[in-house]
Copies of this chain bind each other. A is one copy, B any other.
Amino acid sequence: MQALLAALLILGPWVAPVTTAAESAATLVTRGSSRGIPACASCHGATGSGNAELGYPRLAGLPAPYIEAQLEALAAGRRQNALMNAVAVKLSAKQRRELAQYFAALPFEPVSPVPARAQSGAGAELALHGRWSQNVPACTRCHGEAGVGVGERFPPLAGQPSRYIESQLLAWQQGTRHGEPLGLMQGIASHLSASDVHAVAAYFGVPPSASGDAPGGDAPPRAGGAAAGDGEPPPGERALPDGEFGKAVLLGRRIFEDPATYAKDYVGNALACSNCHLDAGRRADSAPLWAAFVAYPAYRAKTHRVESLEERMQGCFKYSMNGKSPPLGDPVLVSLSTYASWLARGERVDPNLPGRGYPRLPKPALAADFQRGARVYGEKCALCHGAGGEGQADHGGHAAFPALWGARSFNWGAGMGSITLAAGFIKANMPYSEGGSLSDQEAWDVATFVDSHERPQDPRFTGSVAETRAKYHDGPDWMYGVEVGGHVLGSDSVPPGPTPTGPGPTH
């Protein structure tokens, strides 16, 4: 099949035979079929780059399983489109798969990275930061940096015609497109105003004036008239202050969202601070930075001492990032605490501000269970975090969804290894845009499942798992040192040492 496709690509459509008995993908693309199927190229272009003027989507380089799933949804009516419903229903399952593979294999020029794109305006705001006050995560959270796409389920947004993006958001709002995994986009689209939709489509999309064959992706966002959303910008999204202080705030935010780039000497996995502190550290009940800033210095039972915020952050690097602590006073820590202070502007100094940390769930009716947790994980978590907990990188190679266990995840010393803490985090925040949707029982079960997998060794490892458990993980909250499926957790953890670099699953 690979060889055939390659041959087709080399030979081009002109030499492919036209037979109804064997309507090859290439034929369907360039000539259509006598059964009333128009040539795909007539709308999507010969190179599969779509048509910006008419809002027909780019297909080139999209994940094959995604294209195939769309053709199935169009055939089944879960996506409504008069033309495409009629076409899709005439295709066999085999033809849908071959067409998907055909378009997936077409080359598509990668879009420019984020820094070259406009960073302000209503569209950039939603695209890069979301609007968590309405449970709307940043588009890039799931669709990857610059919207390049993640895995098979989160298609690229960059390079799609803005008119196409807009029409799909409207389709989710109106229910004429539905049935995707977890229904995330229907929920998210329901929170967007008409001007939001326009702005975010303009941010990612190729404008109508562009050539239908242009790869696009560099289009600056158009203001789109009204500002997005509900008036007051979320805390922290006020205009960045000027001067050196503003630079420190910005660096802090960049580190927070992309430590692998901006604090690379100190991280040992592909996680970002914002994986556990959603909305770039602003979301209540997601251990927000503003609540931490006004709560430190504070006593911590973990270290048996009063710690400053910078010392607390050192622990994040050592455990959650499975890296090493930046020295106190290092620009990484100073920038992060400067960013925290800026998010905290206007808050009261109070160690117990509502929204601090993660909520504490009441104990569930049934004892938390690994097997039930595995089912919840498969249904609700694997879409993003992968069936093996390995996380996903985006199509540009940048970390997208964090690994939840394995060598690329947080180590056994991290707070998220506590089942109580993980359950509270999951209940309040997972899945993205659907926080609060799991039952307490589901949250406890899936937290138990996640925290019952092997991960990197606790940096405080004494040389004995039993002793390390007794010292640091004694109690029902920790699976470290507990036997699960014949394996004692912690016993083949990767020991602390030279830190691996670069994103991507390695479990």
A residues with a Cβ closer than 8 A to B are: 243-245, 248, 290, 293-294, 296-299, 304-308, 310-311, 327-329, 334-335, 337-338, 341, 344-350
Please state if B338 and A349 are interface contacts (CB–CB under 8 Å).
no
A439: min CB distance to chain B, Å: 36
Please state if A308 and B293 are interface contacts (CB–CB under 8 Å).
no
Chain B residue numbers with a CB within 8 Å of A348 are: 346-349
Please state if A349 and B243 are interface contacts (CB–CB under 8 Å).
no
Each complex incorporates copies of this chain amounting to 2
Least CB separation from A349: chain B residue: B344
Chain B residue numbers with a CB within 8 Å of A245 are: 297-299, 306
Least CB separation from A306: chain B residue: B248
Least CB separation from A304: chain B residue: B244
Least CB separation from A327: chain B residue: B328
Residue among A293, A308, A347 facing the most chain B CB atoms (10 A cut-off): A308
Chain B residue numbers with a CB within 8 Å of A347 are: 348-349
Chain B residue numbers with a CB within 8 Å of A350 are: 345-346
A314: min CB distance to chain B, Å: 9
Q: Please, could you name 9 A-B residue pairs with CB atoms under 8 Å apart, sorted by A?
A: A243-B299, A244-B299, A244-B305, A245-B297, A248-B299, A341-B349, A345-B350, A346-B348, A347-B349
Least CB separation from A301: chain B residue: B244
Q: A248-B297, A297-B248, A350-B346 are in contact. Are A308 and B306 (CB under 8 A)?
A: no
Least CB separation from A333: chain B residue: B308
For the complex with contacts A245-B299, A311-B334, A328-B329, 17 further pairs of A-B residues with Cβ separation under 8 Å are: A244-B306, A245-B298, A248-B297, A248-B299, A293-B349, A297-B334, A306-B334, A306-B338, A308-B308, A308-B337, A310-B310, A310-B328, A310-B329, A327-B328, A346-B349, A346-B350, A347-B349
